[in-house]
Amino acid sequence: MSGGQEALREPWDSLRRQREAASFGTWLFLGSEALLFGGLMMAFAVNRVLHGDAFAAAGHETNVVYGTVNTLVLLTSSLTMAVGAEAARAELRKLALVGLSLTLVFALAFLIIKGFEWRDDFRQHLFPGPNFKLQESAARIFFAFYWVMTGLHGLHVTGGIAVIGWITWQAWTGQRALRSPAFEAVALYWHLVDIVWVFLYPLLYLGGRA
């Protein structure tokens, strides 16, 4: 039970209860996030039904290589996050720090790859505007969703990097006890970021290539 008491906060009497609450609260927040992305995917689905051909043609223009590599990177980061969080709970300090740091590396790699992809998309005039590449007008709606979905997901990745970086730093310097419920809560959030991408990847990259 070493490190248990320093992780305990008001208004909790026991660390077990506090940990349950942190996970439960995070799950509630994830429910909220599910509705956020769910609404977006719903709107995407409606437009895909309305403009099937244009969406297929536009989906063909996305960069599937970048998308697939990023899928692998993000899935791997979820693995290292799970290892880091479980190791923290078991108070295996070294393994926890390695897992968390690798997660940070993968998360940053995801954003960097995404940045290259966005740059290529811009160069190919895939941002809806005056010189838009495609003829079908509804293709602009597909790419509107593309930019909103990847942008919103990118914001979530950025937020994830901030909190993972913060708790990793605290664990590194010893300011945060390894038994703190924060590791599990952040891991849950990170898995959601991963799962959202698992939905975005087929919608945006594979839809036009069936």
Partner 1 sequence: MSDIAAEGPIPGDAQPHQGLRGAPSYLTAEHGLAAWFLTTDHKRIALLYAAALTVFFFIGGAGAVAIRMELFTPQADLLSADGYNRMFTLHGTVMVWFFLVPSIPNTFGNFLLPLMIGARDLAFPRLNLFSWYLFIGAGALLVYALVAGGVDTGWTFYTPFSTAYSQSYVMAAALAVVLVGFSSIATGVNFIATVHMLRAPGMTWFRLPLLVWALYGTSLVIVLATPVLTLVLLLIVAERAFGLPIFDPAYGGDPLLFQHLFWFYSHPAVYIMILPSFGVVSELVTCFSRRQVFGYTFMVYAILWIAVVGFLVWGHHMFVSGQSLYANIVFSFLSFIIAVPSAIKVFNWTFTLYRGQITFDAPMLYALGFIGLFTLGGLTGLFLASVPIDVHVTDTYFVVAHFHFIMVGGAVSAFYGGLHFWWPKITGRMYPDVWARFAAVLMFFGFCFTFFPQFIMGFLGMPRRYQVYPPEFQIWHVLSSSGAVLLACAYLLPMGYLAWSLIWGDRAEEDPWKATGLEWRTSSPPPRDNFRTMPAVDTGPYFYHPDKEGPRHDEPEAHQNQGRET
Which residues in this chain contact partner 1 in the complex, by CB under 8 A?
10-11, 17, 20-21, 24-25, 28-29, 31-33, 35-36, 39-40, 42-43, 46-47, 50-51, 54, 128-129, 137-138, 140-141, 143-145, 147-148, 151-152
Structure tokens at 55: 């969406």
CA 44 to chain centre: 19
Nearest to partner 1 of 90, 148 (CB atom):
148
Contact 154, 111 (CB under 8 A): yes
Closest CA to 85 of 176, 199, 196: 176
Instruction: Tell me how far, at minimum, the Cβ of 47 lies from partner 1, in Å.
Output: 7
Structure tokens at 28: 């509630």
Nearest to partner 1 of 2, 32 (CB atom):
32
Nearest to partner 1 of 73, 177 (CB atom):
177
- Torsion angle of C-alpha atoms 133, 144, 207, 73, degrees rounded to 10: 100
- Non-local CB neighbours of 162 within 8 Å, separated by 6+ positions: none
Instruction: Tell me how far, at minimum, the Cβ of 31 lies from partner 1, in Å.
Output: 6
User: Which residue is it, tokens 């960069």?
Assistant: 63
Nearest to partner 1 of 35, 90 (CB atom):
35
- Non-local CB neighbours of 154 within 8 Å, separated by 6+ positions: 111, 114
Instruction: Tell me how far, at minimum, the Cβ of 82 lies from partner 1, in Å.
Output: 23
Instruction: Tell me how far, at minimum, the Cβ of 9 lies from partner 1, in Å.
Output: 8
Instruction: Tell me how far, at minimum, the Cβ of 189 lies from partner 1, in Å.
Output: 13
Nearest to partner 1 of 2, 135 (CB atom):
135
